[in-house]
Structure 1
Amino acid sequence: MQSNESVTTVAYLAKDATRLLKKLIATPSFSKEEEETAELIQTFLESKGVTTHQFLNNIWAKNKYFNPDKPTILLNSHHDTVKPNKAYTLPPFEPIEKDSKLYGLGSNDAGGCLVSLMAVFLHFYQQENLAYNLIMAATAEEEISGSNGVEILLPRLPKIDCGIVGEPTLMNMALAEKGLLVIDCTAQGKPGHAAREEGDNAILKAMKDIEWFTQYRFEKVSDLLGPVKMSVTVIQTDNKQHNVVPAQCQFVVDIRVNELYTFEEILAVIQQNIQSQFQPRSCRLRSTSIAMEHPLIQAGLSLGRTCYGSPTTSDKALMPFPTLKMGPGDSARSHSADEFIFTDEITNGIALYIELLNKVLLPVSEKKQPVKQ
C-alpha cells in the first residue's frame, strides 16, 4: 500500500505530466517534423533542473548521480505522431479534457507514455543511492521507423543494460514483438496484344505466387506471438492500356515474423517457393523478446502485471538489449479518430512505473562505453 506522501507525490507528478501532454497535443509533431515538441520537452526538463542533451529531434538526460559503475536502464518513448485521419470529429490539436478523458492527437500513442516516463525520471532524478542509473530519451520518427530516431541516438548514449519502451499496453507487459519484413515482388511476363494469343501475362504469374503467400503456413508457432503472418497488401502492373498483356506485375507482401524465425530463414523459404523476383525493403525491424526471468519482468509479475506478445512493432525492435514494452493507454486507440487517454491512466501509470523500478534488482554491468555528445 502506498503511503500518503507517495500518493501526494504521484498526484503532483501526474498533474505536471498532464499539463505537459496538453502542450504536446497542441503542437503538431508529425514524423520528421518534431522540432517544436523536442523544444517543449527540453524546456520542461531543464525547468526541473535537469541537464539535457539533444541530437537531431531526440532529447535525452541522465539521472543526477549517474555512476558508470552501475547498470543503466533506458526509459524511452516517442514524441512524433501520425497525421490525423479524416474521421476525426474533434480538433486533433486541441487538448480537450472531458469525462475523465484527455482527447487529442498523440494523447494515447504515445504522449501519455512519454510524459509518464518523464515524470518517473524526475521522481528518481536526484536520488543519490539508486541501485542503477536511469537515462530518459524522448525520441523521434518512431511512427515511420525512421533512421533519425532512437536508432541514431543509441550509439551516443552510455552503455544500456535494459530498457522500458513506453507504448500503450494498459500497463501490462509486452515481452515480445513480431518483426516486420516488407518485400517487393515482381512477376515477369511478356507483352502482347490482348486480342490475340500473344504475350505471357505477368498478372497470372503473380497470382500463383500470391496464392502461395496466402496459403503457406510456417511450422513454428510462438506461445507469445503466434504464427508468422504473410499478407499481400499492394498489387499493380506497368501497363495502363486495357488491350495490352502486361509484361510485369508488382506486388508487396507484409510479413509479421515471430521470434522463432530469423528474417534470413523466412526469405530462404520464400526463395524456394515463388517464381517472382523479390527484394526486402529493410531487415531492421526484427522480432524481439525478453526472458521471463529478467528482473524487469519479475518485478512486474510481483505487481500483478500480465504478460503477452505484441503484434505491433515499436522502437523496441531497434534496441540491442533486453527491453520491456509497457505503458498507460490502450493500443486499440492508437491511430484512431478522436484519440484519447484516461487521465487516471497517467496517474496509475506513473505509480506503477515507480513501483516497478523500486523492485528491480540488476546485476552490476561489466563493460562500459564512453558517452558521445
Structure 2
Amino acid sequence: MNQNQLVENSTELLKKLITTPSFSTEEDTTAEILQQFFEDQGIPTKGYKNNLWATNKYFDEDKSTILLNSHHDTVKPNSGYTKDPFTPVVEDGKLFGLGANDAGGPLISLISAFIHFYPKKNLSYNLVFAASAEEEISGDNGIVSILDMLPPIDCAIVGEPTQMRMAVAEKGLMVLECTAKGKSGHAARDEGENAIYKALSDIEWFKNYEFAEESETLGPVKMTVTEVHAGSQHNVVPDTCDFTVDIRSTDAYSNKEILNIVERNIDSVIHPRSIRLNPSFMPLDHPIIKAGQSMGLEQYGSPTLSDQAFLSVPSLKIGPGKSARSHTADEFIQLDEIEEGIEIYIRLLNKIL
C-alpha cells in the first residue's frame, strides 16, 4: 500500500472513530471498529477489555521490540461546541470532531506506519502496535492492564499531538493528601495545639524546597500546595488541617524517591493518592532519538501526561496535531498534519528498522 492509500484509508478510519462515542471506560465500539479495520488489512489482533494489539508478521523473539501506542478513548465534549462533536466535517483542510486531535490523528498515523512495516521481512526490530483505552483517566483497564500480555518491550513510541516534535521526556504526577495534627481547645483560652500553625511550617517547606538534581529536559521538580481545609467554627482551635500537594516529577527522580524526601522533611501525615504516574524519558543517545535528530526533528520536554507514565522502558512521545487543541470545543486536526505524521513516522522507523 502506497502512502496516498495509507492517508486515505486512515482518514476514513478516523471519521468512523469520530462518529462513534468512545468516552473513557466506554470504548467497546471503537475497539470493534479498530479490530475490523485490522482484519480488513489481513492483520490478526488480540484484545483485552477495550484494548487491542498486533505484532508484525515476521515477529522474531530473538530481536528487540518497539511498542507503537496511542489511545482511542476521548473526554466528553464541553458546552462550547458549535459543531456536532460526533459528525466528522472537513472544512478548509481541517477535519473537525471529538478526538480528531487527541488522539485520533496520532492513532491512525501510527496504525498506518505499522501497516506499512507489517509484512516486511528482516526488520532490525519487532513492532507491536497497541490501541489503548482509558488513557484520559489513567484507568486500570487501559495500557497498564495489557503490559504483561504484550511481548517484552524494549522501547516505545507513544502517539500524542506534539506537532511531530520529539517529546524526549515527560513529567510525572503525584498528588499527596497531607494532614497536620494538633489538639482542639477554646480559642479564647491558651488551650490546644493549632493544627493550622503546624501545617504552615510544612506548607512553607513545600514552597521553598529545592531538589538537588534537575532534569536536563524538564527542569526542576515542581511542588504546589493547591488546597487547604481546617476548622469547624471561629472559637475552636482546630485539631487537624488537611492540605493537598500537586507534584510534577521529572526524570531526575522517581515518584517513590520524591515521596521519601518529603517524608523525611515534614511532620504531617502523608497519604499519597497514587505514585504510579512516573516521569518518562528516552536517552538522547538512543537510536530513535538520533534518527529524529538526523531528520531535523525538534526535541523538548513535555509537561503533560500520557500512557508513557505506565511504561518502564525508554519512550518517545511524538505525533501529528497540536496539544493546545486537546479537550477544546470544535476540536480538529489538519489533513496535511495526518499526511505529515504518517510520512515522518515511516521515515523515522525506516532509519532504525
- For Structure 1 versus Structure 2, the TM-score category normalised by the shorter chain is over 0.9
Q: Residues 30 and 191 of structure 1: is their aligned pair in 2 closer, same or farther, counting only changes over 3 Å?
A: farther
The aligned runs of 1:46-85 (5 Å cut-off) are 46-85=39-78
Which residue in the other structure is 1:88 paired with? 81
Kindly indicate whether residue 157 of structure 2 is the aligned counterpart of residue 143 of structure 1: no
Distance 1:22 1:214 in 2: 47
DSSP-derived class of the 2:297 partner: coil
Q: Which runs of 5+ in 1 are unaligned?
A: 1-5, 362-373
Quote how far apart the aligned CAs of 1:195 are: 5.8
Of 127-136 and 193-202, deviating more is: 193-202
Residue equivalent to 1:265: 257
| Contact kept in structure 1, 2:95 and 2:332, CA below 8 Å | yes
Offset at 1:47?
A: 1.4
Q: For 2:175, which of 169, 182, 206 is the aligned residue?
A: 182
Q: CA deviation at 1:262?
A: 2.9
Partners of 1:195 and 1:112 in 2: CA distance = 63
More deviation in 324-333 or 97-106?
97-106
Task: Tell me the distance in 2 between the aligned counterparts of 1:85 and 1:276.
Answer: 38
On the 8 A contact 2:84/2:97 being kept in 1, the answer is yes
Shift of 1:242: 5.3
Aligned length: 353
Which of 198-207 and 101-110 deviates more? 198-207
The amino acid across from 1:103 in the alignment is F
What CA deviation, in whole Å up to 9, does each residue of 1:197-230 have, x standing for no partner? 5543333333332232122222322220011101
> Tell me, which stretches of 5 or more residues in structure 2 are unaligned?
none
Matching residue of 1:365 = none
Separation (CA, whole Å) in 2 of partners of 1:307 and 1:31: 30
1:341 maps to which residue? Answer: 333
Report matched runs for 1:146-185 at 5 Å.
Answer: 146-185=139-178
Deviation at 1:46, TM superposition (A): 0.9
Aligned to 2:10: 17
AA of the residue aligned to 2:12: R
Task: Return closer, same or farther for 1:248/1:221 CA change in 2, 3 Å cut-off.
Answer: same
Over the matched positions of the two proteins, sequence identity in percent amounts to 59
Q: Which residue type is aligned with residue 216 of structure 1?
A: Y
Matched, 1:278 2:270: yes
Separation in 1, partners of 2:298, 2:114: 23
> What is aligned with 1:315?
307
Residue in 2 that maps onto 1:107: 100
**Taking structure 2 as the reference length, what is the TM-score of the superposition?**
0.93
Q: Once the 2 structures are TM-superposed, how far is the Cα of residue 265 of structure 1 from its aligned partner?
A: 3.2
- 1:95 shift after superposition: 2.1
Letter in 1 for 2:255: F
Answering whether residue 346 of structure 2 is matched by residue 354 of structure 1, we say yes
Please give the TM-score of this superposition, normalised by the length of structure 1: 0.88
2:180–2:196 contact (8 Å) kept in structure 1:
yes
The letter for the 2-side match of 1:246 is P
Distance 1:86 1:234, change over 3 A: farther
| C-alpha contact (below 8 Å) 2:181/2:241 kept by paired residues | yes
2:190 is the alignment partner of 1:205? no
2:270 is equivalent to residue 290 of structure 1: no
Name the stretch that deviates more: 103-112 or 92-101.
92-101
Partner letter of residue 137 of structure 1?
A
Partner in structure 1 of residue 120 of structure 2: 127
Of stretches 219-228 and 192-201 in structure 1, the one that deviates more from structure 2 is 192-201
CA 1:337–1:251: 2 relative to 1, 3 Å: farther
The residue that corresponds to 1:235 in the other structure is 228
Could you report, residue by residue, the CA deviation over 1:258-280 in whole angstroms, capped at 9, with x for unpaired residues?
11123333223322332211122
Cα distance in structure 2, aligned partners of 1:313 and 1:78: 13
Q: How much has 1:193 moved relative to structure 2?
A: 4.6
Q: How far off its partner does 1:296 sit? A: 0.8
Residue aligned with 1:77, SS? strand
